[in-house]
């Protein structure tokens, strides 16, 4: 195992750092359960003990009575099966997700036959996306998909090939940029839902972000947490008005976005996840309500060149759809995913996710 850096913060997605600031300033620190799984599989997990060191090095989780349960290194798992449960105060865990997921993803990917990312190949894929979308803002969002020790090299390759920004400070500085970018993750919206309810959690999280984060950071609301993409985009736009730069769609691959269409054979246009029809529905709803100034940011699956091409072609045919993409998949990996699934012991999660107990998980922290 490589020696951990002195601080996890340079290797942390900026939206987790900003989420901690918001939660601290709003006085929110509920007890949460975070669940980790892989979509890939069956496979063998690796990186568990190394991930445990992240909690020991950077968090008072154990001292506060929290714990981490996981499959041991070498354990066999199935797709979607929980491989880790993290329990404790949200402020003890929210900043660590990028680093522990990257460790699990990289070590597990290699254990199951994938090579480490090649920066030249990363640059080639990033360059292909830039050529398809010459006028869009492209952000590299893949820090959680590989080990933190490669973050600088991967970000430098993506930026050199035409990407505009990345999500970590370490990656940004390696690429000659000032800092990482990012606003609101699902975790922040779920925590707000535990206080104000799901109906207006997206709006209230965005309002808190607007109160607590420096004015120079664009206000971009994540609006898919509860599969109410249109409703929450409008609710937030009415609350923030001209201060809202944009909304982000990151609809889970298990769900059809609000306003989208069931799969009818048109790949990427219809069906679950972030689709052309779902995006167009949000764009239309914003425009009809007088919020033409609100931009749309898309993430989830846009490392797939066919998906990028489908959205580029749809915009050529239909007119304005989106202004920016957040892209993590610039290389092949077994992606580990983490979700808050319980708050204060009660079930609460983004749409499409739920807590699943597993007697196979052993305490590691």
What DSSP line would sit under 301-363, residue for residue? STTSHHHHHHHHHHHHHH----SEEEE--SS----EEEEEEEETTEE--STT------TT-EE
Spans of the chain below 50 pLDDT? none
Please state, in angstroms and rounded to a whole number, the distance separating the CA atoms of residues 223 and 192. 13
Contacts of 69 (CB under 8 A, 6+ apart): 84, 85, 86, 87, 361, 362, 363, 364
Amino acid 41: pLDDT: 96
pLDDT in tens, 266-324: 999 999 999 999 999 999 999 999 999 999 999 999 999 999 999 999 999 999 999 99
Which pLDDT belongs to residue 2?
74
Count the neighbouring beta carbons within 10 Å of the beta carbon of residue 213. Answer: 18
CB proximity list for 129: less than 8 A, separation 6 or greater: 138, 162, 302, 303, 305, 308, 325, 327
Cα R_g (the chain), whole angstroms: 19
pLDDT tens for 139-183 read 999 999 999 999 999 999 999 999 999 999 999 999 999 999 999
Sequence-distant (≥ 6) Cβ neighbours of residue 197 within 8 angstroms: none
Place of tokens 């601080």: 7
> Which candidate, 265, 192, 268, 186, places its Cα nearest to that of 229?
186
Total residue count of the chain as it appears in this document: 365
């Amino acid at each position: 195992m490589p020696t951990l850096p002195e601080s996890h913060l340079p290797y942390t997605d900026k939206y987790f750092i900003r989420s901690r600031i918001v939660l601290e300033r709003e006085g929110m620190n509920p007890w949460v359960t975070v669940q980790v799984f892989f979509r890939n599989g069956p496979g063998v997990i690796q990186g568990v003990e190394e991930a445990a060191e992240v909690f020991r090095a950077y968090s008072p989780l154990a001292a506060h009575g929290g714990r981490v349960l996981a499959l041991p290194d070498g354990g066999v798992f199935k797709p979607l099966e929980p491989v880790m449960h993290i329990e404790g105060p949200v402020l003890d865990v929210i900043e660590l997700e990028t680093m522990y997921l990257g460790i699990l993803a990289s070590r597990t990917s290699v254990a199951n036959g994938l090579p480490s990312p090649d920066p030249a190949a990363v640059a080639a894929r990033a360059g292909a996306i830039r050529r398809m979308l010459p006028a869009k803002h492209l952000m590299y969002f893949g820090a959680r998909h590989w080990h933190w020790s490669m973050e600088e090299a991967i970000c430098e390759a993506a930026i050199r090939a035409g990407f505009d920004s990345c999500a970590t400070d370490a990656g940004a500085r390696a690429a000659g940029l000032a800092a990482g970018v990012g606003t609101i993750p699902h975790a922040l919206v779920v925590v707000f839902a535990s206080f104000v309810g799901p109906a207006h959690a997206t709006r209230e999280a965005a309002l808190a972000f607007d109160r607590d984060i420096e004015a120079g950071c664009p206000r971009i609301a994540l609006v898919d947490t509860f599969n109410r993409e249109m409703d929450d985009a409008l609710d937030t736009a009415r609350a923030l008005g001209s201060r809202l730069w944009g909304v982000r769609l990151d609809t889970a691959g298990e769900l059809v976005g609000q306003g989208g269409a069931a799969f009818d054979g048109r790949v990427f246009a219809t069906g679950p996840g972030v689709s052309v029809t779902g995006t167009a529905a949000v764009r239309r709803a914003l425009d009809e309500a007088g919020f033409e100034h609100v931009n749309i940011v898309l993430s989830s699956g846009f490392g797939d060149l066919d998906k990028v091409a489908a959205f580029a072609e749809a915009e050529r045919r239909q007119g304005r759809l989106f202004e920016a993409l957040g892209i993590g998949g610039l290389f092949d990996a077994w992606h580990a995913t983490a979700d808050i699934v319980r708050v204060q012991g009660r079930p609460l999660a983004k749409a499409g996710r739920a807590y699943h107990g597993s007697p196979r998980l052993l305490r590691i922290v």
